[in-house]
């Protein structure tokens, strides 16, 4: 696998000086290189995650241009989608194609546990995942937030006792 920094240099998305700068920041802060590149304004999410897709040998998918098949997503799995930064994207026969911004061991295990072995991975950006979740589940999430705030407010209210003489 070609290193992400080398991919970015080959694509002329960053200079050698910028790469050295972010590597030094990464060594001191232990923050992921990509997160630094985004925070420093050197790359966009699309540029970074396109390079990450190449690094792993996967296709990159822009979920704004190629949205997921909505019936594959479940309201009951929203927290998992957010936590693992992954969503079921499409079906190809019996194979489920998963779009993820976090290709980690934990994400791979979640995919296997929830979708079995007949899966394929595509890479997308965390912004694409977040915006897709907001677009598809926005009204539910809004109602859920209101309910949680209401419960929190009730919990913090003093209890008034009525004394009967």
Burial (0-12, 13-18, 19+ Cβ within 10 Å), 120: middle
pLDDT category of residue 139 using cuts at 50, 70 and 90: confident
**pLDDT level of residue 158 (50, 70, 90 thresholds):** low
Flag whether pLDDT at 3 surpasses 80: yes
Judged against a pLDDT cut of 60, whether residue 159 lies above it is answered with: no
26 has a pLDDT exceeding 60? yes
Whole-number mean pLDDT of the chain?
90
Count of alpha carbons within 13 Å of 66, Cβ hemisphere only? 13
Can you spell out the DSSP letters for 49-101? HHHHHHHHT-EE--TTTS---GGG--GGGHHHHHHHTEEEEEEETTEEEEEES
> Is 144 a residue whose pLDDT tops 90?
no
* Those residues with Cβ within 8 angstroms of residue 8's Cβ, 6 or more apart along the chain or in another chain: 14, 19, 37, 43, 47, 51
Phi then psi dihedrals of residue 39, to 5 deg? -60, -35
Does residue 129 carry a pLDDT above 90? yes
**Reported pTM:** 0.82
CA distances for 155 relative to 57, 90, 141, 161, angstroms: 50, 42, 21, 16
Report the pLDDT averaged over residues 10-29: 95
């Amino acid at each position: 696998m070609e290193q992400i920094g080398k991919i970015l240099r080959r694509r002329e998305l960053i200079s050698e000086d910028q790469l050295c700068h972010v590597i030094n920041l990464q060594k001191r802060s232990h923050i992921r290189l990509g997160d630094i590149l985004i925070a420093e304004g050197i790359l966009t999410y699309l540029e970074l995650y396109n390079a990450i897709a190449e690094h792993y040998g996967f296709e990159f998918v822009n979920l704004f241009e190629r949205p997921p098949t909505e019936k594959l997503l479940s309201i009951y799995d929203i927290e998992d989608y957010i936590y693992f930064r992954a969503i079921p994207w499409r079906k190809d026969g019996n194979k489920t194609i998963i779009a993820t911004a976090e290709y980690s061991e934990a994400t791979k295990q979640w995919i296997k546990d929830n979708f079995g072995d007949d899966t394929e991975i595509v890479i997308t950006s965390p912004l694409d995942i977040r915006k897709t979740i907001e677009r598809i589940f926005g009204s539910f999430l809004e109602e859920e937030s209101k309910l949680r705030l209401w419960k929190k407010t009730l919990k913090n209210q003093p209890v008034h006792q009525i004394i009967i003489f």
